[in-house]
Amino acid sequence: MKIPTILLAAALALAAAAPLSAANSYQLKMTAVNGKLSYAHSQKNEAGTQNDFAGKAEAKTEKKPDIVFKSLLKETKGGVPVLNYTFELAGEEAGLPVMRAASEVALVPGKKILAAVYGPWRYYLELEGRAPKPGDAGNYQLSAELACGQAVLPVRVAALKGSRAEISGFSAEGGKKRKLYVSLLPGLKEVKGGLELQYSAALTEDGAAAGAAEGKAELLTGLLKTVPAGENCKISLKAVGF
C-alpha cells in the first residue's frame, strides 16, 4: 500500500522531534586548540550512559598529551541533547592540568560550541548530525576575569541556567607558577534583562594564596560588571545567552 506523501512527511517530522532515548546515540567530538596546536578526541555516546575516556589525544604532532574526558548525555531540553562533562588536558607537571573544565550544556547536533577558554586554550564540543529544528539551545557563555595586582586571568565557560560550571588551570609564565580555580552558577534568581550569577574564584602563585573572590552578582545580559574582591583584587563578570 502506498503511503500518502503528507502522512509520510508528518511521520518523519515526529520522529525528528522525538525526545532522546536510550536507543539514541551520537558521535561526540571535542577539540582543544592553542594557536597552531590542536588536540582532539571523538567517541560514540548513548543517551543515559556514562562514557569515560582517559588516554592520549588525537594530534598531528608527534607529541600527544594525556586527556581525561567524562561525559553523559542525560536528557533533552526542547528536543536538544544535554551533555554533562568533565575535561582535563595534562600539562608538563604531573597532577597539574593546564586546563580543566566541568559543566552542563545543551548541544544542538551539527553545531560546534565554544565550551571553555582558559588562557590561550580554547575548548570546543560538537555532536555530529543535523538538528531537527534550529533555535536557541538555552546556554549561557559566562566570562570571569580575576585581576589581582599584575595578574589578570580571564576565563570563559558555557553552561545551562541552573547548572554549575567549573574551570581551572595551571601556568608558569614570567617566573610565576599560577593556579586559578573559578566556579560559576547562573540563574538562581530571576533578574529583568539578565540573571543572577553566583561566583567563586581562587588564585595561588608559587603555592601561596594570591587572591580570591566570592559572592553573587546581578548581571544584565551582555554587559560587563566589575566587583571588588578583597584588598588587592577585583573580578569582572559577563553572561551572554546562545
Q: What tens digit of pLDDT does each residue of 102-137 get?
A: 999 999 989 999 999 999 999 999 998 876 665 567
What pLDDT was estimated at residue 150?
Answer: 85
Q: What domain range includes position 188?
A: 138-242
pLDDT tens, 69-85?
999 998 676 778 999 99
Given a contact cutoff of 8 angstroms between Cβ atoms, the answer to whether 57 and 67 are in contact is yes
Which residue would you say has higher pLDDT here, 93 or 35?
Answer: 35
Instruction: For residues 97 and 176, state if they share a domain.
Output: no
Instruction: For residues 151 and 128, state if they share a domain.
Output: no
What pLDDT was estimated at residue 83?
Answer: 96
What pLDDT was estimated at residue 75?
Answer: 65
Task: Note the pTM of the prediction, 2 decimals.
Answer: 0.87
Residue 13 has pLDDT above 90, yes or no: no
The mean per-residue pLDDT over the stretch 138-162 comes to 95
Residue 183 has pLDDT above 90, yes or no: yes
Residue 3 has pLDDT above 80, yes or no: no
8 three-state secondary structure: helix
Evaluate whether residue 188 is within a structural domain. Answer: yes
Residue 210 has pLDDT above 90, yes or no: yes
Residue 2 has pLDDT above 50, yes or no: no
Write the CB contacts of 170 (distance below 8 Å, at least 6 apart in sequence): 91, 93, 96, 97, 98, 177, 178, 179
User: What radius of gyration, in Å, describes the C-alpha atoms of the chain?
Assistant: 20
* Domains of the chain: total: 2
Residue 11 has pLDDT above 70, yes or no: no
Given a contact cutoff of 8 angstroms between Cβ atoms, the answer to whether 184 and 142 are in contact is yes
Q: Identify the weakest region by mean pLDDT among 6-10, 35-39, 160-164, 219-223.
A: 6-10
Which residue would you say has higher pLDDT here, 64 or 74?
Answer: 64
Residue 63 has pLDDT above 70, yes or no: yes
Instruction: For residues 28 and 120, state if they share a domain.
Output: yes
pLDDT tens, 34-49?
999 999 999 999 889 9
One-letter amino acid for residue 28 of the chain: L
**Residue listed under C-alpha cell 570563559:** 156
Instruction: For residues 108 and 32, state if they share a domain.
Output: yes
Instruction: For residues 125 and 73, state if they share a domain.
Output: yes
Instruction: For residues 90 and 162, state if they share a domain.
Output: no
The mean per-residue pLDDT over the stretch 185-202 comes to 93
* Domain boundary pick from 95, 114, 133: 133
* Domain boundary pick from 102, 133, 164: 133
131 three-state secondary structure: coil
If pLDDT is split at 50, 70 and 90, which confidence band does 146 have? very high
What pLDDT was estimated at residue 220?
Answer: 95
219 three-state secondary structure: strand
Tell me the β-bridge partners of 28. Answer: 43, 127
Given a contact cutoff of 8 angstroms between Cβ atoms, the answer to whether 158 and 137 are in contact is no
